[in-house]
Homo-oligomer: A and B are copies of this chain.
Amino acid sequence: MRIALLGGTGDIGQGLALRWAYDTDHEVLIGSRDAEKARTAAESYETELDSRGVDRTVNGFANEMAADRADVVVLAVPPYHVGDTVDSVAGKLDEDTILVSPAVGMKGDEDGMHYHRPGAGSVTAIAAEAAPDDVSVVGAFHNLSADRLANLDVALDLDTLVVGDDPDAKDIVRRLADEIEGLRSLDAGPLANAAEVESVTPLVINIARYNDGMHDVGVTFE
């Protein structure tokens, strides 16, 4: 399977790219608005993997080209760029493409981070509204510490919650999540339940701030 990480030069994109390249045989494509930036990031991921004895090709492209080549397109961009990013690649998506939304809207103040629920109901819903009708949108990978994800020395031992209205698309994304070692996917229901998933991210950040030794804390459900 070919996975494109749009915004794959950013922290969550880097983490997912490294984990999929390290733990699976899926082809990993890095997308960026700036193709040169994508190629540079892709090379640095190759170098990181090579230093661990893993010989993998990771290619960088402009977002449109990465999306065009991929079966699964992850919107690893800030929440306020999700709509624009989907618009910019919409012509390259077909009915077999799955769009994955990991972004979360937050606002910080002196007390901590707070969930900022978009008018659409969730960032995942923004992605779904922007996507062509025949493209399935799945929410996943919201509450993961980017540092922990990107550090291949650290075991994940975390859960990720998956929401979506298309059962087949959801199954594929759950499988991609479960193939990352130490990550377990759980079903959180339809896309309408995305806000409850997204709102865990500010909580996790608050816990990291207020408890010693929990810098890269994540969530599990037992």
Cβ-based interface call for A207 (8 A): yes
Residues of B within 8 A of A152 (CB): none
Closest Cβ of chain B: how far from A144's Cβ, in Å? 12
How many residues does chain A have at the interface if contact means C-beta atoms less than 8 Å apart? 36
Give 1 or 0 for each of A172-212: 1 = CB within 8 Å of chain B CB: 00000000000000111110110111011011101101110
Contact (A189, B202) CB under 8 Å given A115-B196, A220-B222: no
Query: Residues of B contacting A199 with CB < 8 Å?
Result: 115, 196, 199-200, 203
A203 to B196, CA, bound (A): 5
Residues of chain A from 96 to 128 with CB closer than 8 A to chain B in the complex: 109, 111-115
Which A residues between 122 and 170 are near B, CB-CB below 8 angstroms?
157-158, 161
Secondary structure at the A interface, as helix, strand, loop or mixed, is mixed
Interchain CA distance A158-B112 in the complex, whole Å: 23
Q: Given A190-B112, A193-B114, do A203 and B200 touch, yes or no (CB 8 Å)? A: yes
Which B residues are in CB contact (< 8 Å) with A218? Answer: 221-222
Q: How far is the CB of A95 from chain B (nearest CB, A)?
A: 24
- Expressed in whole angstroms, the Cα–Cα distance for A15 and B195 within the complex equals 29
**Taking the complex as formed, is A89 at the interface, i.e. its CB lies under 8 A from any CB of chain B?**
no
Bound complex: CA A203 to CA B115 (Å): 14
CB distance from A42 to the nearest CB of B (A): 31
Chain A 28-66 near chain B by CB (<8 Å), digits 1 or 0 = 000000000000000000000000000000000000000
A190 to B111, CA, bound (A): 6
Establish whether residues A196 and B206, one from each chain, have CB atoms under 8 Å apart when the complex forms. yes
What chain B residues lie within 8 Å of A221 (beta carbons)? Answer: 204, 207, 214, 217-220
A residues near B (Cβ < 8 Å) are: 109, 111-115, 157-158, 161, 186-190, 192-193, 195-197, 199-200, 202-204, 206-207, 209-211, 214, 217-222
Leading 4 A-B pairs by shortest Cβ distance:
A187-B210, A196-B203, A111-B192, A199-B199
Q: A112-B192, A114-B196 are known; give 6 further A-B pairs, CB within 8 A.
A: A112-B196, A114-B192, A161-B203, A187-B211, A188-B207, A196-B199
